[in-house]
Each structure stands twice: as C-alpha cells, then as structure tokens.
Amino acid sequence: MPLHDVGYRPWRGKRRGYGHAVGVIAGTGIRLAWTSRWLRRAVFFAWSPALLFAASFFAFEQAVDQGQLGTMQEQARAGRNLDGVGVLGAVLARSLGAPPPDGRPLDANSTRHMVWARLLLAFMRAPQAVLLAVVVGLVAPTLISRDLRAKAWLVYFTRPVGKLEYILGKMAVLGVLVAAITMLPALALWALGVLVSPSVWVAVATWDLPLKIILASLTLAVPTVLMALAYSSLTAESRIASFAWFATWAACWIAHTALTTADLVAAAEVTRLSREAAAQESFFADEAFGEFASVPPVRPRSAPRGFRWLSRAAGLDSEIDRWAWLSPYHALGVVQAWIFGIETRWRAVLPPLVSLLTVTAVSILVLWRRVDAPARA
C-alpha cells in the first residue's frame, strides 16, 4: 500500500519583496475607506477652495503682465476687491509694504514669490487643514480598532508581517488622503499660476514652492496621522477613538483661544492704563503752562474684520503666538509658515516644533506597543 506525504508542502511560487505587505495593507484600507460616500464627497469638496484661490493667482498675474502691479498695490491698500473674493487684496495690502522711495517699480519676480507663498500657505492652513482634521477623524479611528474588534491581528501576525509593515501600511492609507486633500490641490494651484503667468520661466523663479508644498504637507500629515492611529490602537471601539480625536482638537483649540484672549485683554488693560497716565501728565503739564490739550487715542491699523482669519492663515500677523504649541492646528500653522520662509523667528517656531515632535514621538511609542498587544496577551 503506497504511502502519501501529507505534511507541509514547500512554497513553489515567487516570493514578493519585504515591503509588498505595506502595499497590500494600504490598498485594502484605501478601498474600504473609499466605499464611504461621505469620504468621496469630502475629497471632492477639498478641491472647491482651490477655485477661489485660483482667481487670486489669475488676477495677480494679469496685473504683472499688464505692468499694473504698483496700481494694484495702491488699490489693495484702499480696500478694493481685486480678485472677486478679497483674498489677493488682503495679502497685497499687508505684505508688500511701502513702494520703493526712489520711485522704481516693484520687482515682479520677488513680489510673485512672496505673494504666491502667502497664498499657498493660506490655502493649506485655512480650508485644507480644517477639512483634513475632519476627514482623518472619520477614517483613522476604524483602521486599527476595527482589526482589534474583528481579531484581524490573528491573520496579520501569524503571517510574515511585522509591526513596522503594519504601521506603515495603515499610515499609507491616511497619507493618500492627505495628498488628495492638501498636497495635490496646492501643487495644482502652483501649476495653474505658472500657466496663467506671462512666461513659463516663472516655474524657474518659483521652483522651490512645490518642494515646500510637499514638505509642508508631510509636516501636516506625520503628527496628525500618527496621533489618530495611536487613538485607534488604544480601543476596539472606533467611536471612542473618533471622540478622542475630535475632543483633542476642540479642547486644544479652545484652550489656545482662551489663553490668547486673556493675553489680549491684559495687553489692552496695560495700554489703557498707560494712555490714562500719559493723558494725566499732559493735562498737568498743559495746566502749568496755562493751556489744555487733550491727547487723542492712537489706534493701530489692523486688517479688516472679514479678513483677520486670512491674515493669520497667510502669516501676516507679526505678533508671536506664544500659545501656539498648545493647539495642533496653530502649531502646524507656525511650522508651515517657517517652511515657506514667512516666519523666521526661532522664538516663534521652536515651541510649536518641539510640541509636534513630542506628539509624534509619543504616538510612535503608543503604536509600537499597542498594535500587537493582543498577540502578546
């Protein structure tokens, strides 16, 4: 009677590379996430603000092409709406400064680089960063918590899949979303600016802006993605992870707003007391000379109320936000402004940078400890 080998048979197929598992995990996660109708709508909606900023690029390049940059600057200072949406006027009025004293025209290349950088920063900060926080909060909590709830780790870690491959695969899912929401629309804006400019050599003059867009997108993606995945790894209930994500952003934003408002109130009180003291000294001095003159209050010029959000997003606010490190949104904005070359003061950049690095390091430690915790139990 013949005997048959019923043991394990060797694998005869072709072995894939070490990183192939990352692609499989990422592809599966993206396909599952893309089945959500809300996610598809959010990604489509993320490209809508690009149309508004595209009008600003077009209006600016038309002024450069027709040699009306100086006139456009004067109109911006007068409060004119230059691009139909008010974005370009606020940026020009606050960023170009006074005309050259010798009467020379403004340099088109340097002015273009500065205006484009501020418009791209405002685009990535104001609409895109807020929308990204919402999308990550909807997608990320289910990536690991769903595997914990369904015991999918039995499939992952009984096969030659390591923790690093698993984490990189999950990060790649959110990385694609970050690219679709922030990086790709910003690169499309830069390309559109080149197309509507007088010459294609504008791409050479602004060659560093695409690199800064990619670096700013990575700066936005790494801490947010890792923090969201860390929350997802701490619980098998995706609702709890989602609540923790949105609660963190909301609580940090509220704390930043409260502390910043307290500083503004304190500064306003100090200014009021100093003005009263100056008015009293002037009153007694004028009375001693037999004269009386009132001291009119001096009010600093500020951006129009409707564009204060844009001034902060485009890096036009010259004051140092000493509480930016407390809020992920504001910390990311300061670091992105540093990447675009708009914020150069280390006193303003260092605290948010350390805060984001700390969040990244803690999230990595939590992920590395928690993703295979059920297998070790």
How would you label 40-78 residue by residue, b for 16+ Cβ within 10 Å and e otherwise?
Answer: eebbeebeebbeebbebbbbbbbbbeeeebbebbebbee
Let me know how long the chain is.
377
Residue 124 is encoded by which pair of tokens? 């990535």
Question: What is the pLDDT at residue 263?
Answer: 79
Indicate whether 301 belongs to any domain.
no
Indicate whether 2 belongs to any domain.
no
Say which residue the tokens 């707003």 belong to: 257
Q: Residue 172 and residue 135: Cα distance in Å, rounded?
A: 15
Question: What is the pLDDT at residue 301?
Answer: 43
CA atoms within 13 A on the CB side of 318: 5
One digit per residue, the tens of pLDDT, for the chain of length 377 reads 555 555 666 667 676 666 677 888 888 888 888 888 888 888 888 788 877 788 777 777 777 777 666 666 666 666 565 555 555 655 665 555 445 544 555 566 677 788 888 888 888 887 788 888 888 888 888 888 887 777 776 666 666 677 888 888 888 888 888 888 888 989 998 988 888 777 778 888 888 999 999 999 999 889 999 999 999 888 888 888 889 999 999 999 899 889 888 877 887 777 777 776 666 666 555 555 454 444 444 444 444 444 555 556 666 666 788 888 998 988 998 899 899 888 888 888 999 999 999 999 999 999 888 887 666 65
Indicate whether 11 belongs to any domain.
no
Question: What is the pLDDT at residue 71?
Answer: 66
Question: What is the pLDDT at residue 364?
Answer: 92
Q: What is the dihedral of CA 75, 339, 172, 188, to 10 degrees?
A: 30
Q: What is the DSSP string of 177-224?
A: HHIIIIIHHHHHHHHHHHHHSS-TTHHHHTTHHHHHHHHHHHHHHHHH
Q: What are phi and psi of 240, to 5 degrees?
A: -65, -45
Q: Residue 288 and residue 33: Cα distance in Å, rounded?
A: 79
Measured between its terminal Cα atoms, the distance across the chain in Å is: 46
SS3 content of the chain, % helix, strand, coil (to 5): 75, 0, 25
Indicate whether 3 belongs to any domain.
no
Indicate whether 4 belongs to any domain.
no
Q: Residue 228 and residue 224: Cα distance in Å, rounded?
A: 6
Q: Residue 81 and residue 307: Cα distance in Å, rounded?
A: 12
Question: What is the pLDDT at residue 55?
Answer: 79
Question: What is the pLDDT at residue 72?
Answer: 66
Indicate whether 257 belongs to any domain.
yes
For the chain, the domain total comes to: 1
Question: What is the pLDDT at residue 210?
Answer: 93
pTM for the predicted model, two decimal places: 0.78
Q: Residue 78 and residue 92: Cα distance in Å, rounded?
A: 11
Indicate whether 30 belongs to any domain.
yes
* Spacing of C-alpha 274 from chain mean position: 38
Domain region containing 330: 17-295+306-377
The three state secondary structure string of 79-143 is: CCCCCCCCHHHHHHHHHCCCCCCCCCCCCHHHHHHHHHHHHHHHHHHHHHHHHHHHHHHHHCHHH
Say which residue the tokens 């990183």 belong to: 19
Say which residue the tokens 């984001």 belong to: 356
Single-letter amino acid code for the residue at 235: T
List alpha helices for 234-296, DSSP H: 238-288
Q: Judge contact between 295 and 282, C-beta under 8 A.
A: yes
Residue 322 is encoded by which pair of tokens? 């000493």
Single-letter amino acid code for the residue at 239: R
* Spacing of C-alpha 215 from chain mean position: 11
Indicate whether 95 belongs to any domain.
yes
Q: Residue 350 and residue 112: Cα distance in Å, rounded?
A: 28
